[in-house]
Amino acid sequence: MLLVNLGTPDAATPAAVRRYLAQFLSDPRVVEIPQALWKPILHGIVLNIRPSRSARKYAMIWTKDGSPLLVHSLRQRTLLLGYLGQRLKEIGLPADHAQIELGMRYGRPCIDEAMAKLAEGGCDRILVLPLYPQYAGSTTGSATDAVAAAACRQRRVPALRFVDAYHDDPGYIKALAQGINDYWVKNGRPEHLLLSFHGVPRRTLDLGRTLDLGDPYHCHCQKTGRLLARELGFKSEQFSITFQSRFGRAEWLTPYTQPTLEALAKRGVGRVDVACPGFVSDCLETLEEIAHEGRTAFLNAGGREFHYIPCLNERPAWIAALADLAVRNLQGWLDAPPDVAVREATQARARALGALR
């Protein structure tokens, strides 16, 4: 199985951030501008200005173990391996029957490296599970492109399955609700709950109205928000769904998170709690943009109390939900292939090729 997440710079330095942004912002799934127009802007302006500014932000959230996104993703992979092993034992299979690798769409460990490890392990059937609950072309779609490209570079192309979305998966929703409720047990409940999702350009939604080519991301976010609010017992006036991380001058999905926080404060809401259901691991967008910038915006606008509720990270209910999701999508693949000799020969050939590199 292949877990896929967005990725992170190798270090909180301008040089490392520049390498990361160069790969990230060169993806035509991320920036849907003709490359002939975009590349001069990217290399002439963006990559000369943005890396230093972003590096300072990364430095604020960097840990002794490195990038929070990578740290959490690696821990999720390790825990999922244990949880999935237990599920396999329950159905009569060896706990080590499935191999799990982590691949980042941008940065390291990259998807190519993860696919190579799976090939060396003799995996001829791979379930791709992106750590993006809501489908977007710029995230899940891009990850699918990268996995397919990596598979095309292998002599023995594995059978592939993709989990495209699980925005309404009961286990995922219950894990979110449990995390929020656990936070409230220790810190009390807010006057208003704000659910902030990563934004995408408004154009991706408008295309769906006119050409039936649009992105389901907005609908997925709205459904996640509604299901989560219902699980928490919140009425419509007690919570808001907003979008953050706008880039460039074009209109993105609205309402925007920071202006909404400011409006809530000016309306007299004394305490607001913010959760980010679309991010399964804490990262720059949650720890710096929300927990720091969002807090500052709310308090400066007159709010009295701001709480950021951490992401799912390594919560047991979340890892259990991932394991359940994996087992459901591995149906028919959990039995060993009939020709074990072929599998053993594939593993031996992969080991031999690895030794020659």
Burial class of residue 177 in the structure, from the number of CB atoms within 10 Å of its CB (0-12 exposed, 13-18 middle, 19+ buried): buried
Instruction: Give the structural domain span for 324.
Output: 2-7+66-165+316-356
Sheet with 305-308: strands ordered across: 239-244, 192-198, 271-275, 305-308
SS3 128: strand
Confirm if 334 and 103 have CB atoms less than 8 A apart: no
What pLDDT digit, counting tens, does each position of 55-114 carry?
A: 999 999 999 999 999 999 999 999 999 999 998 888 888 888 889 999 999 999 999 999
Do 188 and 222 fall into the same domain? yes
Residue 43: other Cβ atoms inside 10 A: 13
Confirm if 305 and 299 have CB atoms less than 8 A apart: no
**pTM attached to this predicted model:** 0.91
Residue range 243-262: mean pLDDT, rounded = 93
HEC readout, 205-222? HHHHHHCCCCCCHHHHHH
State how far the Cα of 37 lies from the Cα of 235, in Å rounded to an integer. 46
Do 299 and 175 fall into the same domain? yes
Q: How confident is the model at residue 162 (pLDDT cuts 50, 70, 90)?
A: very high
Residue 118 sits in a domain of what CATH number? 3.40.50.1400
State how far the Cα of 297 lies from the Cα of 308, in Å rounded to an integer. 13
Do 236 and 134 fall into the same domain? no
**Average pLDDT, whole number, for the chain?**
93
- Per-residue pLDDT, 217: 96
State how far the Cα of 57 lies from the Cα of 108, in Å rounded to an integer. 20
Do 301 and 323 fall into the same domain? no
Do 185 and 294 fall into the same domain? yes
Do 102 and 151 fall into the same domain? yes
